[in-house]
Amino acid sequence: MPNGLDNREKVLHRFYEEYQKAKAANHAETFTKAINVIQQLQKIGGVGNEKETFGETLGVEMTPQEAAKGYQDLLTDSKSHVRS
């Protein structure tokens, strides 16, 4: 089943790229994009393992400090939706 995992990781990378673009543009959609990334991390590594999965997938080309900050930013943005 390696193809399934490869496909899930491709989706994760696409979602993370969309999240980063929305965040850079300070777009209101950043919240939703962050949630998409977290949900995909859960599909790959299981609920409760999001931080580790982030480090093993998206964080492989980052320093440990960058990966920790990237994950923390993702969490913060996923909780940033303001109800009107």
pLDDT tens-digit readout, 16-55: 999 999 999 999 899 999 999 999 999 999 999 999 999 9
Q: What is the domain range of residue 54?
A: 2-78
Residue 53 within any structural domain of the chain: yes
Residue 52 within any structural domain of the chain: yes
CA angle 32, 67, 19 (to 5 degrees): 20
Question: Is the pLDDT higher at 11 or at 81?
Answer: 11
Residue 6 within any structural domain of the chain: yes
Residue 23 within any structural domain of the chain: yes
Residue 83 within any structural domain of the chain: no
Cα 54 to Cα 3, 15, 26, 39, 74: the distances in Å are 19, 12, 22, 11, 10
Share of the chain above pLDDT 90, in %: 79
Arithmetic mean of pLDDT over the chain: 90
Q: How many domains does the chain have?
A: 1
The pTM of the whole model exceeds 0.85 = yes
46 vs 69: CA distance, rounded Å: 21
Residue 24 within any structural domain of the chain: yes
The candidate with the shortest Cα–Cα distance to 38, out of 65, 78, 79, is 78
